[in-house]
Amino acid sequence: MKYKRKKSVKLRGSMTHGHGHKKKRRGGGSLGGRGNAGLLKHKKFRMLKYQRERLGKHGFKSLKQKGFKPNTVTLNLNDLVRLAEGKEIDLTSLGYDKVLGSGKVTVALTVKAKAFSEKAKEKIEKAGGKAVQV
């Protein structure tokens, strides 16, 4: 008695087993994954050889990028005119460190502060006042 071999056994190595055209696979299986998949696993040596810059840290981050904010408290000239009651104002006692030059000064003031921007100093002196650095 002869046994007939199963069709699946006969067609080993045939991709479709006699059922026509089959779409190409999407997964990139023979590539070991698409793109950079597997770079830290099965494609590690390829990465170490050809993409060495992928590992480690490079360059530096400035303090601004790290979120560092200096502790200088600033005040603009237009706010300074509102704060000044008399002819003299001491900003260090009020908690301000630096005077910036945004705004206009119409009154002659003597201003005491830790630091002044160049424009602020110019505008205060133009109005007939003094910028005293403490």
Q: Which amino acid is at 5?
A: R
Q: Do the beta carbons of residue 90 and residue 112 sit within 8 Å?
A: yes
User: What is the per-residue pLDDT across 32-79, written as a single tens digit (0 to 9) for each?
Assistant: 888 888 998 999 999 999 998 888 888 888 888 888 877 889 999 999
**pTM of the predicted model as reported, rounded to 2 decimal places:** 0.50
Q: How confident is the model at residue 26 (pLDDT cuts 50, 70, 90)?
A: low
| Pairwise CA distance, residues 113 & 88, whole Å | 11
| Between residues 54 and 15, the one the model is more confident about | 54
User: Domain residues of the chain, as ranges?
Assistant: 74-133
Please say whether the structural domain 74-133 has been given the CATH code 3.10.620.30: no
Q: How confident is the model at residue 24 (pLDDT cuts 50, 70, 90)?
A: low
| Pairwise CA distance, residues 128 & 76, whole Å | 18
Q: What percent of the chain has pLDDT over 70?
A: 95
Of 91, 88, 95, 90, nearest in space to 109 by CA: 88
**Distances in Å between the alpha carbon of 98 and those of 44, 63, 120?**
54, 20, 10
